[in-house]
Every structure is written in structure tokens, then in C-alpha cells.
Amino acid sequence: MAARTEEFYEGDRDTVLSAAGLGETMQEVLARRWSRRGMLRHGTGAALVLTLGQGGLRSAAAQDATPLAGAAVGGLDFEPITLDAGDNLVVAPGHTAVPFLRWGDPIMADAPDWDIDAQSATAQERQFGYNCDWIAYFPLPQGSDSSDHGLLVVNHEYTNPELMFPGYLTRNPEYTAAPDSDDAPPDVPEFLINTSQEIVDTELAAHGLSIVEVLRDESGQWVVVRDSALNRRLTGTTPMEITGPAAGHDLLQTSDDPTGTRVLGTLNNCAGGTSPWGTALTGEENSQQYFANLAALPEDDPVRAVHDRFGYGEEASERQWEQFHDRFDLAKQPNEPFRFHWIVEFDPYDPTSTPKKRTALGRVKHEGATTAIAPGGQVALYSGDDERFEYAYKFVTAGSYDPADRAANLDLLDEGTLYVARFNDDGSGDWLPLVHGEGPLTEENGFTSQAEVLVKTRLAADALGATKMDRPEDFETNPVTGKVYLVCTNNNQRTLEQADAANPRPNNLAGHIVEITEDNDDHAATSFTWDLFIIAGDATDSGTWYGGVDAGLVSPLAAPDNLTFDNDGNIWISTDGMANNLPGNDGLFAARTEGEERGRTLQFFSTVPGAECSGPIFNPDNSALWVSVQHPGEGGTLDQPVSRWPDGDQAPRPSVVLITSENGMARIGRRG
Ligand code: FEO
Ligand code: CA
Ligand code: CA
Ligand code: CA
């Protein structure tokens, strides 16, 4: 057995650090916390910090564990698969997984078939976009709970032009080192980029979202209704409205839009959510990558200080969009970035509706947007800011949801209070209000209005002393228990000194999931308790936590990203970055959230090399599951592919995959 490499101690952080060498393993501490959990009024009282190192301490229980086979875990009943690194989909026995919507598939009656050698913006605007991520299912007809007819709404996060356009990359004749050589001079790129107006415009058209009508036909097959009047593409150029407290603010005005209320397109839509009134909410995440030339702004320009926090490029961008569209050039349009990084709401049932960027929800690298109704009728919206050491947010509407009056709900998200989370070491937590004039959010600290608090959300959250998290990605609410789950995907830059109870692992390569219980189960509450649900990674590593279940009974995962829940409150976790941690492609895992098997993950699905798994969503009766296989083959090129999925051709194609039971309409993840 390897020497113990992690030490933990219960108490405050200073005690933890001074007690190095006296501690227990994380598994021991969490097991003890869990066993007495029912007795604690305010959840847990332990603070945990791991010292550096991911050594291979293996518990005696793990060594003796029986293998995973035929696991029947509460409401889950499927035989888990194991980590797989092949260039093909793998799904649990008794299920089928097939590509359902591929990049380029025509989704309008007049759309051309996909042809890699005949791409254009005009074609792409009528075809399924690139890099599918979040997926939502909206039942049809509107207001029903139909499980065999609906709209799929799909985010298209970004483009991989090197995998889309033949000839986009050419070898640099001045690059004389061996391919991928460590000896290569840093200023001589191995490849040169050949782009054009048509390529850039096609990329813009491949971003945004697809809205696609789908149904299960009389033979039981799911089909795309290609000529549906509801089918729609939103792209990087679709006109959108800016609403809420920051609409029209000086910082949102550009020479193209002096009103600060109209913007072209949505970009880098990562995850999202749905509102109780049947609209889609999509998060604009890493929009900074489309902008260039921050260096043109003077060092003392206050605009620059805000941009710096988002990582805009100082010089030309790799995508080179600024060569063809001035608005992506900060030297020409320094305010255009303020019109991105918002949550966008739109009505998928009305293909003529104008999407709205809701500024009341704050401006960060929004991973997603998850809603829940409070007992008082207010609607809470949770969203993570996916970057290392950034924050977790919640918005609570001022008004109340009226189930009988959809029109009255449509602008609820323009007025309310935005909060940021502080996770206290004793297992309690506070939602800190980001309200102009309260606490440090005053003019003398650089916040002259609520609009400015919202445009500078990250800086306002800094001022309030919120908890810096390990890349907060998806937030989802368990529909059975009301508990809220926050995924922290990883953070390889957290040091031991920076570890805290909610982010206990330095060099957190594999990520963890935090479970939040709002006080009085009220999503409008301003305080909560929290716990660690899982700490991911190799389950035989003592620095992980899968509910205390024997390692041999767990399907290990790493880099959790998106979540969804089935009708029994089981959590389904998709991953983005497994291959950096564990020997397998990204995939989908399921686990119970309560009871003895809580936290025992079972692998259900595996994607292909280079891909992340994202956007899992069930239809209402859980007889169909859609999941995105995003950026298959990333890391390769068209000439040197690492994946040829799904067609076996030269270009891999990001696709939404449909998973059904081989037993007709049986629920996913159930035998029989
Ligand atoms: Fe777009 Fe945070 O993943
Ligand atoms: Ca993604
Ligand atoms: Ca994500
Ligand atoms: Ca991710």
C-alpha cells in the first residue's frame, strides 16, 4: 500500500493547515459526516482540506470490493459500462444510442444537404449548427406534457474551423521542428490559418442555437420534422434585444447601436435552462475569444479594467473575425464585449419572437441558467461563472410567477435581486445581494448604478467577499428533493493555501459536486446549508468521495460538467475532460442522491475521442434521452484526425445522440 498522501482534519482552515500529519483521509471524514448527517440541524460542520498530491492510497474496502455487474441501485437498474477509449459510442446494455442531429443536417425544408466542400453561411443558417451543447425538450402542443412530440432547443457553443473547412490549416514552411516538438521556437506556429469572409460568416451561422421539432412516429421511431414552421436557427448575427437595468447604459452603446439595446447574435452558448413559463434560457460563456486588440485601449481606460477580468486578447484573435467584422475589434468597438456574457431568454414556441439578453441576471461567463419556483411564487435562477476562482450566482425575481397568465411572466427576469454565494466552512452559506448602494457597491468603489454593478458583476462579487470556486459549471435542481447541485469541474491552479471547505482539493484535476439545501427549502432564501456530494477522480484514491461506497462498486468519473435528473431524482452527470484524468472518453454517469447508494456513480454512456459529453435531457416520461457529443476529434485536424465519428468520413461531426431502451418505451436506465 502506498504511503498516505492526503491529510484531513476537522475544524477551521487554520486548524486544518496546522494539523497536517494528524489528519484522516477525506473518505474517513466524509463517511463520519454522512453517518451523523441526520442529527445536524445545519448540515455539516466539517472543513476539509487535502494536501497536494493524488497518490494511490487504496482503502482495504476497495481492494476487497466485488466487481460492478448488474447493479440495481434504487431507481436505477442497468449494467454499467466501463471506461472506453474507442471511436464509437458505448451505452449500457438494453439501450441504443444513435446520432440524431448532426452538424450540417438540414432542419428546414429549403436547406441543402450538408456538403463539406459546399459550405456557406446561407446553407448553415438552415442546417444544424456546430458543437451542440445544452439541450432542452419543450413539449408540443405547448402547455402539454407530451413525451412523444416536442421541440429540441440546442446550444451551439463554438466552432472548430480546423475540423470544418478543408484547407483551413496549412503547414508553416518556416516551421522546421518535428511536428508537436518541444524544441519548436514559440513564435513560429506549426500551422498557418487560411480564413476568409465566407468562412467567418459560416462560423457565425454555425454558432447560436437550433430549435427543431421532433416526434415519435407510429412505428415508435423518433424523427426530425424538417419542414416544421417552428424550426429556427438563432446565430451569431440574429438581432436581439438587451433588457433590464443595464439596457441602454453608456457601456453598452456602440456606433452601430447608439441606443445600447440592440445587438447582433449570441455567442458561446454553453449550458442553459428553461423557465416555468416555457421559455429557453441560454448562457453566453467564453465570448471573449471572438474579440481582438485589447492592447489598443489605454492602460488607464476604465473599460480596460473590466475587460481584463474576462481575458480578451491583446492582439489579433486566432479566429481573425475582426478582419471581417469591425465589432470584434476592440480598437474600433471597445464596448461591443459588454453586449455579451449575458443570459438570453427566448420563446421557442414563437419563431418570430426576438431573443432578449436579460441584464438583471448579471454579466459573467455564464455556464447555464436553472430555474426553480419559491414557495412565495418568486422564481430563482441559478448560474455558475465557469472560470477558475469565479463565483456561483442566484437571481430571485421581484414579481411572482402566475401559472394562469403566461404573458405576465415573460419579462419577470428583468426585475429582481442578483446574489452571489458565500460557502462558509461550517457548512452554512449566504446569498450576498449585488445591489447598488448596499455595502461596498457604492460610487466611491466604482459602482455608480445598478447597471454598472451588473456590467461589472465579477468585480462586485469580489467586493462582497464571495467564495471563489473551482470553475462553477452546471447548476441543476433535483425535482424530487428540491436540493440544488453545483458542478465544479476542476481547478488545477488552486493551492493548499487557497483550499477551503467547499473547494477542498488543491490541484483539483477531477472536480467535485456541491449540494445546496436552501433554508426552509425556499429558493428565495438568502441562506443555505451545503455538503459535498461527490469528489471525482479515481475511486481508489483516498482523495475522492463517492458517498463512501466501495471503490469497486463505483464507475469513476472526472471533470463533471452538465447535470440532469430523472423522475426519481437520480442525478445524471456528463463529463468534459475525462481523458486528462482517467483512461476513457467523456461520458454520462448516473447516481442516487439519497439513501445508502447516494453518490455511487454508474457509467451509462461513453463518447468518442476528443469529444465532451454535454446537455443530457430526458423527455417527460424518461423514455428518451438526448445527449450532445460535442467537439468529437478535437485535438486533431482533418488531415490527422483523432475521430471520424459519426460517419467514418474525414470530418467528425458534433451531434446530438438519441438514447432509447431496446424495450420499446421503457424508461432509460431500467431493465425489463
Ligand atoms: Fe462551456 Fe463551461 O463549458
Ligand atoms: Ca461545452
Ligand atoms: Ca459546459
Ligand atoms: Ca466544461
> Order of strands, edge to edge, in the sheet holding 484-488?
370-373, 379-384, 392-397, 416-423, 428-433, 527-535, 512-518, 484-488, 472-477
pLDDT band at 177 (very low <50, low <70, confident <90, very high): confident
Percent of the chain clearing pLDDT 70 (strictly above): 88
- Res 253: pLDDT: 98
Cα(521) to centroid(ligand 2), Å: 30
**In the listed set 23, 42, 62, which residue is the last one of a domain according to the structure?**
62
- Res 186: pLDDT: 76
| 561 found inside a domain | yes
pLDDT band at 16 (very low <50, low <70, confident <90, very high): very low
CB of residue 157 inside a 6 A radius of ligand 1: yes
pLDDT band at 180 (very low <50, low <70, confident <90, very high): low
pLDDT > 60? residue 3:
no
- Res 41: pLDDT: 29
pLDDT tens sequence across 489-535? 999 999 999 999 999 999 999 999 999 999 999 999 999 999 999 99
Whole-angstrom CA distances from 538 to 73, 510, 558, 582, 600 are 20, 9, 8, 7, 13
- Res 67: pLDDT: 39
What is the rounded distance in angstroms from the CA atom of residue 386 to the CA atom of residue 337?
A: 17
- Res 645: pLDDT: 98
Instruction: Kindly state whether residues 103 and 211 are assigned to the same domain.
Output: yes
Average pLDDT of the residues in 662-668 = 92
Instruction: Kindly state whether residues 426 and 552 are assigned to the same domain.
Output: yes
pLDDT > 60? residue 65:
no
- Res 624: pLDDT: 98
Percent of the chain clearing pLDDT 90 (strictly above): 85
First to last CA, the chain: 42
Instruction: Kindly state whether residues 99 and 48 are assigned to the same domain.
Output: no
pLDDT > 80? residue 151:
yes
| Out of 225-239, 396-410, 556-570, 658-672, least confident range | 658-672
- Res 10: pLDDT: 32
Instruction: Kindly state whether residues 25 and 79 are assigned to the same domain.
Output: no
pLDDT tens sequence across 633-656? 999 999 999 999 999 998 999 999
| 296 found inside a domain | no
Atom number, ligand 1, closest to the C-alpha of residue 367: 2
Instruction: Kindly state whether residues 366 and 420 are assigned to the same domain.
Output: yes
What is the rounded distance in angstroms from the CA atom of residue 166 to the CA atom of residue 119?
A: 10
Domain interval for residue 506: 67-158+207-285+341-661
pLDDT band at 228 (very low <50, low <70, confident <90, very high): very high
**In the listed set 62, 77, 112, which residue is the last one of a domain according to the structure?**
62
- Report whether 448 contacts 441 (CB < 8 A): no
| Out of 179-188, 344-353, 464-473, least confident range | 179-188
Cα(494) to centroid(ligand 1), Å: 19
- Report DSSP state, residue 526: S
Q: Which residue has the higher pLDDT, 18 or 440?
A: 440
Whole-angstrom CA distances from 525 to 178, 183, 485, 496 are 58, 56, 16, 32
- For CA atoms 308, 313, 319, 324, the dihedral sign is positive
Instruction: Kindly state whether residues 102 and 137 are assigned to the same domain.
Output: yes
What is the rounded distance in angstroms from the CA atom of residue 364 to the CA atom of residue 359?
A: 10
Instruction: Kindly state whether residues 349 and 367 are assigned to the same domain.
Output: yes
Q: Which residue has the higher pLDDT, 262 or 665?
A: 262
Measured CA angle at 512 (ends 509, 513), to 5 deg: 160
**In the listed set 47, 62, 77, which residue is the last one of a domain according to the structure?**
62
Gyration radius (Cα) of the chain, Å: 24
Three cell numbers at 106? 438540414
Instruction: Kindly state whether residues 17 and 143 are assigned to the same domain.
Output: no
| 145 found inside a domain | yes
pLDDT tens sequence across 411-439? 999 999 999 999 999 999 999 999 999 99
- Res 650: pLDDT: 82
**What's the 3-state SS for 287-303?**
HHHHCECHHHCCCCCHH
Instruction: Kindly state whether residues 34 and 81 are assigned to the same domain.
Output: no
DSSP one-letter string for 112-132: PPP-TTS--HHHHTTB--SSE
173 burial level (CB within 10 Å; 0-12, 13-18, 19+): exposed
Atom number, ligand 1, closest to the C-alpha of residue 268: 1
CB of residue 474 inside a 6 A radius of ligand 1: no
Atom number, ligand 1, closest to the C-alpha of residue 285: 1
Instruction: Kindly state whether residues 53 and 94 are assigned to the same domain.
Output: no
CB of residue 257 inside a 6 A radius of ligand 1: no
From the centroid of its chain, how far is CA 555? 21
* Total structural domains within the chain: 2
CATH of the domain at 520: 2.120.10.30
Helices (H), 143-220: 161-164, 197-206
Instruction: Kindly state whether residues 426 and 374 are assigned to the same domain.
Output: yes
pLDDT band at 18 (very low <50, low <70, confident <90, very high): very low
| 416 found inside a domain | yes
